[in-house]
Chains A and B, each alone.
Chain A
Amino acid sequence: EVQLVETGGGLIQPGGSLTLSCAASGFTVSRTYMTWVRQAPGKGLEWVSVIYSGGSTYYAASVKGRFTVSRDNSKNMLYLQMNSLRPEDTAVYYCARCPYVAAAGGAFDIWGQGTMVTVSP
């Protein structure tokens, strides 16, 4: 079965760090365009970062310089290292798969269930 499972969310103080993990099954992360998308409580979807199969990474302006996306090919895992966290980073974080890159990106056909990150004193 093709699925994604995120872990690592929790309550963290402003300025703190947290690493989210996304375990993939049924496909190979290293051969796939993978992304992180977040959703603040009661708000819409916000793209956070992407890692291409070739290893290139890109970030939203709101997280650039603070967040780092990476993967472990041996474990078939995707990660999001989040530093200098701010209250506005509070959100459910989803990892998602794009089965093929049509332009610069693509549509996301498989999503995890999401993990909640709360940044608060």
Chain B
Amino acid sequence: DIQMTQSPSTLSASVGDRVTITCRASQSISSWLAWYQQKPGKAPNLLIYDASSLESGVPSRFSGSGSGTEFTLTISSLQPDDFATYYCQQYKSYSITFGPGSKVDIK
């Protein structure tokens, strides 16, 4: 299986900060990567697919980049609604795998 790692595992930030989360794959996954936001007690919400395509309805402050084995999710100006846990997911393989998550909390 393709293993996914994320860093940092926890990030403390303030409203207005630029935030970057990194996701790495154990082998090349081309651009077959998605990013999700999850809040406590809620289902995940798709933010980015195909590494850099913004899902409809997602604010433009979210962006994704990367290919191969290294990817980033950037929030250009953190808003109060953005405090949550973020997961990456690869879908190059039928055996889908998620990263362990990165929690963004209030500094």
Chain A residues engaging chain B, CB cutoff 8 angstroms: 35, 37, 44-47, 50, 58, 60-61, 94, 96, 102-109, 111-114
Q: Pick the residue among A44, A94, A102 that contacts B87 (CB under 8 A).
A: A44
Q: Does B78 have its Cβ within 8 Å of any Cβ on chain A? A: no
Interface residues on B, range: 20 to 34
Q: Pick the residue among B36, B96, B101 that contacts A105 (CB under 8 A).
A: B96
CB atoms of B55 and A106 under 8 A apart: no
B9 shortest CB reach to chain A, Å: 10
What is the predominant secondary structure among interface residues of chain B facing chain A?
loop
Closest Cβ neighbor of A56 among chain B residues: B94
Cα A103 to Cα B91 with chains together (Å): 7
What is the predominant secondary structure among interface residues of chain A facing chain B?
loop
CB atoms of A102 and B95 under 8 A apart: no
Pairs A–B under 8 Å by Cβ, sample size 16? A35-B96, A44-B87, A45-B44, A50-B94, A94-B44, A103-B93, A104-B91, A105-B32, A105-B91, A105-B93, A106-B49, A107-B46, A107-B50, A109-B49, A109-B55, A111-B43
